[in-house]
Amino acid sequence: MNMPALYHTQVSTQTWQTAPPEGMMKVLTTITRPFNDQKPGTAGLRKPVAVFRQPHYLENFIQSIFDTCPALSNAALVIGGDGRFYNREAIAILLRMAAANGVKRVVVGRGGLLSTPAASLMIPHVAAAGGFILTASHNPGGPEGDFGIKFNIANGGQASETLTNAIYQRSLNIDRYLILDTAAGIDIDAPGRQALAAMSIDIVDPVAHYADTLERLFDFERIRTLVANGKFRMRFDALHAVTGPYAEEILEHRLGAPPGTVLHGIPRQDFAGQHPDPNPHDAAGFVRLFMGADSPDFGGASDGDGDRNMILGRGHMVSPGDSLAVLAASARHVPGYRDGLTGVARSMPTSQAVDRVAGKLGVPCYETPSGWRFFCNLLDAGMISLCGEESFGTSSNHAREKDGLWAVLFWLNLIAVRGETVDEILLQHWREYGRDFFQRHDFFIADTELSEQLMSRLANSINTLAGKQTGGLTVRTADSFTYRDPVDGSISRNQGLRVFTENGGRIVYRLSGTGTRGATLRIYLEQYETDQSRQQQTPASVLAPLARMAYTLARLENFGISTPTSII
């Protein structure tokens, strides 16, 4: 292959005057000034598209990553995204910058697509030093929507807190970035090998390796039999986002589900104007499909970038905390987990249902802060096999990201083996372990300062709450959650405020770290119930007293906040 040498030059703008010597490609060392808002949140840097489109904004952040991780030069990188608006432009910039920074090879999902779990699997598969996943997950897309960029490391997982902070620090001092003057001639829709200066570019099928991996974990033969019997009906909603092609390949082509099983399967740049988040609030239409007597037997949905999942049975959405607990309790039914689990983990606000399963299995259960990256050390160390979050995220040691279709296939495998409905599986689980009623109340607060005042006032009083009574409930203990990573000993403080009641209830407060405008206060409510005759109540009725207590303790009214924006 003819690989032109790089010709370095320094410019203060991107306008190029002099032609480079024959056969060389121009690297522009572009002078820039730092932006002060490039601090990544719970999962990467997310901002409105308009912010990313400011001159030098994306370039500054990318160069901060290259400067912080010199090992990326001379190595391979994976690039792909959820297909949202600005994905292609961002990939063109990334390719030009990767080549200018000396990257040897990039592997790009065809069309610029790679779901988050597929990218996470692809990174170690091609022995890449890292990967760029272009996504703002479930945030809305389109010119008025959001864009995002996540940097994942060689194991396929998100950059650690320490690395993320180092990248942020670099972004505050950056004064130049390197970029090739053109990526003309590169076609990310054409499979095969191409080259940009000395960097080779492999455009790969975004689905095949991911689908092959899942096929090794689950009993496809058994699921095929379930799907083929004609009585079992399922639907998967891709919400116009990235999982469409993945679900069509796996559910319809490999497992034989009838065409039409996958709804909204064509990824759209603006997700058809919707909020691609699989939860009863944003995917209410899909949930309604399951509430009739003649509804399908099983439903699954995933989010913008394919890492979240929602599981539905006839008349029921499975609460994510319950889903994690059920999967842990029946993991031995599934080929990939036949040898049992080494341990499990959940994010702190997630219901404690999985703790009870771990107790019975005699394996450790770890409680981590919100955000998938906190699971990765435990997964790398082989300390856990399954993990999950209340925010509709579940996965296992097969990847270093949460994985939406993985959870759907796990449930299908269970249903195929156990011959029971989703409802029957859940009822039996609650009979055995008790039920953890769970809800999350989200409050959008336009004024971020007000939200911080609310949280700091509550944090300042958290140690004085024990013994306090409101509405017939008594606080047993209360604290601010600090995590000590058992693998590297790192400490993460202020990861949410917890209140435990005398009667087995729990309230958690934290501010969202993924929003791009204003603030979102999240209040998580959980109530444990072992009495079978009381397990069929609705979460809303069981959790109403706890909700009142939560609102009172946080003095929401004093802050002019009354009704939640959503209850999930």
Strands 309-313 and 316-318: antiparallel
Least distance (Å) between residue 387 CB and ligand G1P: 11
Q: Considering beta carbons, is residue 387 or 553 the nearer one to ligand G1P? A: 387
Least distance (Å) between residue 427 CB and ligand G1P: 27
- Residue 169 CA to residue 298 CA, distance in Å, equals 47
Please say whether the beta carbons of 357 and 391 come within 8 A.
no
Residues that bind Zn ion (CB under 5 A): 137, 303, 305, 307
Tokens of 279: 């939860």
Q: Considering beta carbons, is residue 248 or 436 the nearer one to ligand G1P? A: 436
Angle at CA of residue 549, ends 545 and 552, nearest 5°: 140
Task: Choose the one of ligand G1P, Zn ion, none that binds residue 59, judging by a C-beta under 5 to 8 angstroms depending on kind.
Answer: none
Residues that bind ligand G1P (CB under 6 A): 42-43, 137, 347, 370-372, 389, 391, 393, 512-514, 522
Q: Considering beta carbons, is residue 137 or 213 the nearer one to ligand G1P? A: 137
Q: Considering beta carbons, is residue 200 or 520 the nearer one to ligand G1P? A: 520
- Residue 158 CA to residue 162 CA, distance in Å, equals 11
Quick check: is 492 catalytic?
Answer: no
Task: Choose the one of Zn ion, ligand G1P, none that binds residue 401, judging by a C-beta under 5 to 8 angstroms depending on kind.
Answer: none
Least distance (Å) between residue 296 CB and ligand G1P: 26
Please say whether the beta carbons of 563 and 551 come within 8 A.
no
Least distance (Å) between residue 38 CB and Zn ion: 20
Name the phi and psi angles at 339, rounded to 5.
-80, 5
Q: Considering beta carbons, is residue 374 or 528 the nearer one to Zn ion? A: 374
Please say whether the beta carbons of 78 and 107 come within 8 A.
yes
- Residue spans of beta strands (DSSP E) within 154-278: 176-180, 192-196, 199-204, 234-237, 262-263
Name the phi and psi angles at 177, rounded to 5.
-135, 155
Least distance (Å) between residue 536 CB and ligand G1P: 28
Task: Choose the one of ligand G1P, Zn ion, none that binds residue 352, judging by a C-beta under 5 to 8 angstroms depending on kind.
Answer: none
Determine how many CB atoms are found less than 10 A away from the CB of residue 500. 18
Burial class for 224, CB neighbours closer than 10 Å (0-12, 13-18, 19+): middle
Please say whether the beta carbons of 505 and 526 come within 8 A.
yes
Task: Choose the one of Zn ion, ligand G1P, none that binds residue 403, judging by a C-beta under 5 to 8 angstroms depending on kind.
Answer: none
Q: Considering beta carbons, is residue 321 or 371 the nearer one to Zn ion? A: 371
Least distance (Å) between residue 207 CB and Zn ion: 17
- Residue 57 CA to residue 38 CA, distance in Å, equals 9
- Residue 477 CA to residue 334 CA, distance in Å, equals 39
Q: Which residue is nearest to Zn ion (CB)?
A: 137
Q: What is the DSSP string of 161-181?
A: HHHHHHHHHHHTT--EEEEES
Instruction: Kindly give, in sequence order, each residue whose CB lies less than 8 Å from that of residue 175, ignoring residues fewer than 6 positions away.
Output: 31, 32, 33, 34
Task: Choose the one of Zn ion, ligand G1P, none that binds residue 305, judging by a C-beta under 5 to 8 angstroms depending on kind.
Answer: Zn ion
Least distance (Å) between residue 304 CB and Zn ion: 6
Instruction: Provide the CA 210 distance to its chain's centre, in angstroms.
Output: 16
Q: Considering beta carbons, is residue 137 or 396 the nearer one to ligand G1P? A: 137
Instruction: Kindly give, in sequence order, each residue whose CB lies less than 8 Å from that of residue 199, ignoring residues fewer than 6 positions away.
Output: 95, 98, 99, 103, 104, 105, 106
Question: Annotated catalytic residue: which of 115, 120, 137, 396?
Answer: 137
Task: Choose the one of ligand G1P, Zn ion, none that binds residue 513, judging by a C-beta under 5 to 8 angstroms depending on kind.
Answer: ligand G1P
- Residue 334 CA to residue 341 CA, distance in Å, equals 12
Least distance (Å) between residue 545 CB and ligand G1P: 24
Q: Considering beta carbons, is residue 101 or 116 the nearer one to Zn ion? A: 116
**Residue 261, amino acid:** T
Task: Choose the one of ligand G1P, Zn ion, none that binds residue 389, judging by a C-beta under 5 to 8 angstroms depending on kind.
Answer: ligand G1P
3-class secondary-structure state, position 289: coil
Task: Choose the one of ligand G1P, Zn ion, none that binds residue 371, judging by a C-beta under 5 to 8 angstroms depending on kind.
Answer: ligand G1P
Active site residue ranges:
137
